[in-house]
Amino acid sequence: MLIQLQPDLYQLRSFLASSYLIIDGREVCLIDGGFLGGMKLIKQCLSENGLHWSNITSILLTHGHLDHTFNIAEIQHRSSAKLYVHPLEQDHLTGTHKYRGVARACGLIETCGRILFGFQLPTLDQTLTHNQNLDIAGSIQVIHTPGHTAGHCSFYWKKHDLLFSGDLFATGHKRTFLPPPHLNACPEHFPASIQRVLDLAPAGILSNHCNLASPQLQRERFFKQFASAD
């Protein structure tokens, strides 16, 4: 499903996870690459806006799990897009991260999924640092939000006072929650990451695992769930 959220922003709801497409004139930025069905949605969005694969210039990766990275190598093959990734995320991207405890289940899921779906490793072009300002779509600020993974990043789009929060949390029907324990590589970092978002206090938040709630409603749910937590 393709949903236009702003004149220059689209949500691409592929299987299991959403990704986001930002249009800045003739340049396109993707927040993650989506999963099964994602390439068709990207092509549809580009076509409806008179754009082509070659207009995709950047891909900002929230983290390296398969449902966010599956299409990136193919997108890079069709475009000149550069991939931006936090350095602590490289072993997740390559599938070599050593998961601990219950999170070993995540490692097994990742390994099986990469084999089953024929995952191709994308090219990493640029590394990210916390508070870095990227000259993309006006200005996008990198917010390092580990917990789900060590190099997990959220991206703050200053133009719309909007945070793309990746898998920091998920939101469904009237509920907002952290990812399940077996999917989190370093959950001890969640409190500090959540506090970073609370301190930033964006006008809207967009999770990669969400229902059709608006950015404003997702933000409201996030603050209701976590701002009052001890």
**What's the pLDDT tens digit per position in 151-160?**
999 999 999 9
Q: At residue 230, does pLDDT exceed 70?
A: no
- Whose tokens are 């219950």? That residue is 102
**H helix and E strand count, the chain:** 7, 14
Q: What is the percent of the chain with per-residue pLDDT over 90, rounded to a whole number?
A: 93
Q: Where are the domains of the chain?
A: 2-226
Q: Is 70 exposed, middle or buried (0-12, 13-18, 19+ CB in 10 A)?
A: buried
pLDDT score recorded for residue 4: 97
Q: At residue 146, does pLDDT exceed 60?
A: yes
Q: How confident is the model at residue 123 (pLDDT cuts 50, 70, 90)?
A: very high
CA pair distance 63, 67, nearest whole angstrom: 10
**What's the pLDDT tens digit per position in 183-222?**
999 999 999 999 999 999 999 999 999 888 899 999 999 9
Identify the sign of the CA torsion 84, 141, 211, 55: negative
pLDDT score recorded for residue 229: 59
Q: How confident is the model at residue 32 (pLDDT cuts 50, 70, 90)?
A: very high
Q: Residues 3-21: what's their mean pLDDT?
A: 95
pLDDT score recorded for residue 212: 87
Q: At residue 13, does pLDDT exceed 80?
A: yes
pLDDT score recorded for residue 12: 97
**What's the pLDDT tens digit per position in 77-101?**
999 899 999 999 999 999 999 999 9
pLDDT score recorded for residue 129: 98
Cα Rg of the chain, angstroms: 16
Whether 200 and 163 have beta carbons less than 8 Å apart is answered as yes
pLDDT score recorded for residue 16: 87
Domain 2-226 top-level CATH class: alpha beta
